[in-house]
Amino acid sequence: MLLETERIAYEQVSGRVSSGELLQLVIAHEQFAWLHRISEVVVQVDEMLEADEPILIEDFEKLLADVRTLIVPLETGNTFERKYYNALQREPAAVLAHAEISRFLMTKV
């Protein structure tokens, strides 16, 4: 969802891009660099789920704390916080997803 929002913003300035071109932009273009932090969390979750050993509650709680810290939209924050804030301003579906994940993150483990 955030990727699609960023793609739309990019295409408004630079014109349409193919899926292959988008992949290259996500990897190398500065406009998409802020999304790498979210990708890192997704990779971390995948690694936890695919590991042979059970997920320790401490590791899960740390992951939740990291995500809580990460998904703070601030108009005047760091680069990620500003970009996240702007994405929420542009995309109603992103607002709904943010609300859903925020509710989940507030639940007790």
Q: What is the pLDDT along the chain (109 residues), one digit of tens a residue?
A: 889 889 998 999 999 999 999 999 999 999 999 999 999 999 999 999 999 999 999 999 999 999 999 999 999 999 999 999 999 999 999 999 999 999 998 887 6
At residue 17, the pLDDT reads 95
CA separation for the pair 73, 80 (Å, rounded): 8
User: In the prediction, which pLDDT does 1 show?
Assistant: 80
Domains of the chain: which residue ranges?
Answer: 2-106
What pTM was estimated for this model as a whole? Answer: 0.82
User: What are the backbone dihedrals phi and psi of residue 102, each rounded to the nearest 5 degrees, phi first?
Assistant: -65, -40
pLDDT value at residue 108:
73
pLDDT recorded at residue 5: 87
Q: What is the pLDDT of residue 10?
A: 93
